Homo-oligomer: A and B are copies of this chain.
Amino acid sequence: MRPSGRELNEMRAVSIETGFTKHAEGSALIKVGDTHVLCTATIEDRVPPFIKGSGLGWVTAEYGMLPRATNTRMRREAANGKQGGRTVEIQRLIGRSLRAGVDRVALGERQITVDCDVLQADGGTRCASITGGWIALRLAVNKLMKAGDVISDPLVDPVAAVSCGIYAGQPVLDLDYPEDSEAGVDGNFIMTGTGQLIEVQMSAEGSTYSRDQMNKLMDLAEKGVAELVAAQKAATA
């Protein structure tokens, strides 16, 4: 029934290549099916003005998409003179989600910027960015700990994300682009390795959904995130 032939509760194949670029303190190319996102983490010894002197660290994120990551070419945001509304919304979500998994006292007064750049898109780029961004963050923090700059691990419980939706009347896990563009309801579920929730966003355009449907999507999401967390652990072991 799904265009890809997957089971309703089946994720796409996930692969993670760490160290994809050499300059960043942490970097990974994550592939969730045909969605490929390059994530890098940059450590800087400064924090935003609003927490200066607080002893707390900060994690923020930026998101971008190459112009021809998609089926038809999109205008480059730098040429447009601004980041679009969708971009801004996504990068705020990524930053907020990653921060929820960070002990900012343990991190100490420094900032880590996670850049998520979509090289190829096939649905679910924001979820892949969160899942891959966590890996880049993990690798960067490992470097800080190895150097003795951070003593207690600020990343206790991993963060990963998956989208679920109602496609052709059925709840399905990990929407790809053909499903995403048809789905009446779709949601993004950001969770931790221990099954706690960080952020849930479920939206319908031109229709509505029931609490029961919501619960079914939550069940699928729990399965998906568990698999993604396993893949993260394998990649950074």
Residues on A lying within 8 angstroms of B by beta carbon are: 20-24, 27, 34, 36, 38, 40, 42, 44, 62, 64, 66-71, 73, 76-83, 85, 87-89, 92, 96, 99-100, 102, 104, 113, 115, 117, 119-121, 157, 187, 192, 196-211, 214, 218
Question: Across the interface, which residues of B come within 8 angstroms of A62, CB to CB?
Answer: 67, 76, 79
Contact yes or no, B76 A205, CB < 8 A: no
Question: In the assembled complex, how far is the CB of residue A34 from the closest CB belonging to chain B, in whole angstroms?
Answer: 7
A13 to B185, CA, bound (A): 32
Partner of A88, one of B68, B73, B85: B85
**A109 and B20 alpha carbons, distance in the complex (Å):** 39
Copies in the complex: 6
Nearest chain B residue, comparing its CB with the CB of A44: B73
Q: In the complex, A190→B82 CA distance in Å?
A: 29
Q: Determine whether the beta carbon of B23 is less than 8 Å from that of A99.
A: no
Contact indicator A201/B198 (Cβ below 8 Å)? no
Query: Do B198 and A208 have beta carbons less than 8 Å apart?
Result: yes
Indicate whether A203 sits within 8 Å of B96 (C-beta atoms), given known contacts A44-B73, A81-B82. yes
| Chain B contacts for A67, CB-based, 8 A | 40, 42, 62, 113, 115
Cβ of B210 and Cβ of A197 under 8 Å apart? yes
The reply to whether A204 and B210 contact each other, CB–CB distance below 8 Å, is no
Question: Given A23-B70, A82-B78, A119-B21, is A197 in contact with B218 using a C-beta cutoff of 8 Å?
Answer: no
Partner of A204, one of B24, B85, B198: B198
Task: Report the Cα distance A117→B70, complex, angstroms.
Answer: 15
Nearest Cβ distance between residue A189 and chain B, in whole angstroms?
10
A207-B197 Cα distance, complex, nearest whole Å? 9
A166 to chain B, nearest CB (A): 12
- Complex formed: what's the CA distance from A197 to B187 in Å? 12
- Contact partner, A208, options B76, B192, B210, Cβ 8 Å: B192
Cross-chain contact A66 with B83 (CB below 8 angstroms): no
